[in-house]
Amino acid sequence: MTSTHETTAPADLDPANPFAAPSTLPYGLPDFAAIREEHYEPAILAGMAAHRAEVDAIATNPEPATVQNTLEALERAGQLLGRAARAYFNQLPSDSTPGLEDVQERLAPRFAAHQDAINMDARLHARVRSLADAAAAGDLDLEPDTAYLVEKLMKQFQRSGIELSPQDQDTLRDLNARITSLEASFGRKLLAGANEASVLVTDEAELAGLSADARAGARAAAEARGQDGWLLEMQLFTHQNVLASLENPSTRERVQSASMARGATGGENDTREVLLELARLRAEHAQLLGYEHHAAYIAADATAGTTAAVNEMLGRLAPAAVANARREASELAKVSGAPGSGGADGVAAADWSYLNEAVRKQRFNLDDAALRPYLELERVVHDGVFKAAGLLFGLSFTERVDLPGYHPDVRVYEVFDSVEPGEPGTGLGLFLADFYTRESKRGGAWMDSLVVQSDLLGEKPVVVNNLNIVKPPAGEPTLLVWDEVTTLFHEFGHALHGLLSDVRYPSQSGTSVPRDFVEYPSQVNEMWSWEPQILRSFAVHHTTGEPMPAEWVDTMLASRVWGEGFSTTEYLAAALLDQAWHQLTPEQVPTSVEDVLPFEAAALAAAGVDFASVPPRYRSTYFNHIFGGGYSAGYYSYIWSEVLDADTVQWYAENGGLTRENGEAFRRKLLARGGSQDPLASFEDLRGRAAEITPLLERRGLV
């Protein structure tokens, strides 16, 4: 489904370019079978030119500003740029090439300049302000979503420097261009550094404990790079999943050391110089706009409001989390005969997961190796993730093998919306699943949108989930560890936020909400991985078809609090590190790359989370969320959102759990509203009150 409100593409864009006209594929899915690397740059440049012309026509309209000729016109503008840029920025982290990275390097400052030109357009600002003034005076009656759009636009103008002097605006433009370029540079270096840091094992004996399918995946990864042996590729976070299985202490130490050294080893993939300049320029940017530091600038546009609120939350949780982690470390250190334990804090970071598995076996009679045969990817997706969405929201999924993805691993599903169980339903949108890791994909897991839902444009959503699961050899099943299962549910929560959006304006669609709210729906969706009805549906042995033993399921549910000390502490250490970098003034930012790791150590010590056994989930040098992504000074968002999440889980429990009625309430009162109103108002509409922190403290074992 494509928009019927679009101007002709600029004459300088080749009509044969796949982006020159809206895609004719279902739901406007980009025609990846026709798109080539060389199509992106000319389409994006033409899109920028067309967008600027459209905005200029709005700004110079001699008629008085109206909702139709200003707000709706702005929302309709930029469609060529939107479809080209969304496809490009989806493919860049998912299936990058040197050519795509070169395009990013050339275009990053131009994107910043393009946005600045719109946000600093005094004529456009005057038209939006006239609507705001008329509404405030009672002379203009705006629909609630339109009034909220005006409020957000006025704030966006202010935060973009509309009130600065021309000289300061020029300075701000230069800062924005440089910051955007540096963020792109950090991402490129990080991807290359992660590939470089992969651990090659040439003696199979050093892989003792690693499952046969995981070994096969490592073997295939080595072969793909022309290497002889087994390649243990790096995941984005510090603690690598393979550490739970590897019996050889020296192999574990090699993996842990390689993980923690990323970005700080010198050479062309060292990220320290980039992150220092980013921290300083962001601080300068914030001060130019009247904020104390970058963290204050970010918090002011989030539900937190202030850095004081962020600091209070993190400071409240940190001492209890570390104390909990130290108790867990004491338990791990008692594991009899477990090799490799030790270190200044009793348990070496490289050994934590391995010892943790031993404790789980002793205490709960469970371990990842035993669980993996029951956690096969296809079953988890169809009988877990999709089934929960069906029970809650009436959704069903049909794979569309006729529709192309941007990589052979990508699978395309059409999503149907049924009013009544068993009905075929109506087409809601498309879901693209890209589950496997590869050399061209950055680490981590994320959601993107290729088409955003909008009643104004008549468009339905097309969303993408990316994960980094090791791909087994052809014909072999993909068996998961439990963290990968919860990640599948988490990312699909983001997908649902996009798929179930029901708003008028595209700028308010789906996940277009404050950063510290966007993780809330995805974290809620994680809970369905633990729901006994869903868990028992997908936890089936991949060869025998036998369900996971009932006592295992019961034990898994009973063991959820175990390990929260570790997971909460590693997360908080990263969130506090993010705040430490971004609560600096320009003068306080270190000037030498040799100061980066000492600054990190001092910041962790000052926050009381310097526990060597549990290093931060991300160290500064590979903290892509804050230096290469969109979470600068916002990594606290996960725990901030989890307050809402845990309270919502309690709401589900109080109202009967996984039912269609509850799903419909969550959908209509929260997911469907996207960014069309204050997101905390959406939460309070669902919950009937403001959020309370107690459910989170209980979940995390911090009471």
Q: Which positions are annotated as active-site residues? A: 491
Question: What DSSP element (H or E) covers 450?
Answer: strand 446-451
What is 321-389 written as a DSSP string? HHHHHHHHHHHHHT-TT-TT--STTSS-GGGHHHHHHHHHHHHHS--HHHHGGG-BHHHHIIIIIHHHH
Compute how many other C-beta atoms are within 10 angstroms of the C-beta atom of residue 110: 14
Helix, strand counts (H, E) of the chain: 27, 7
Token readout for 391 is 């029970």
Residue 36 CB partners (closer than 8 Å, separation 6+): none
What value does the CA radius of gyration of the chain take, rounded to a whole number of Å? 25
Residue 556, φ and ψ in degrees, nearest 5? -60, -45
Neighbours of 570 (CB within 10 A): 24
C-alpha 380, offset from chain centre = 21
Paired with 398 in beta bridges are 414
Give residue 398's region: left, alpha or beta (phi > 0; psi -120 to 50): beta
| Tokens at 248, concatenated | 């050889």
CB 376 within 8 A of CB 384: no
- The rounded distance, in Å, linking the Cα atoms of 487 and 674 is 22
Distance separating alpha carbons of residues 675 and 652, to the nearest angstrom: 23
CB atoms within 10 A of CB 543: 8
User: What are the φ/ψ torsions at residue 231 (nearest 5 degrees)?
Assistant: -105, 120
How do the residues of the chain divide into helix, strand and coil, expressed in percent and rounded to 5?
55, 5, 35
Helix, strand or coil, per DSSP, at residue 429: strand
User: CA 165, CA 245: separation in Å to the nearest integer?
Assistant: 59
For residue 388, give the nearest of 667, 641, 639 by alpha carbon: 667
Which residues in 193-333 belong to E strands, given as ranges?
199-201, 230-232
Instruction: Using alpha carbons, select from 699, 445, 693 the residue that is nearest to residue 565.
Output: 699
Distance between CA atoms of residues 125 and 153, nearest Å: 9
Helix axes 166-197, 249-261, angle to 10 degrees: 160
Pairing of strands 426-436, 230-232: unpaired
State the Cα–Cα distance between residues 126 and 141, nearest whole angstrom.
19
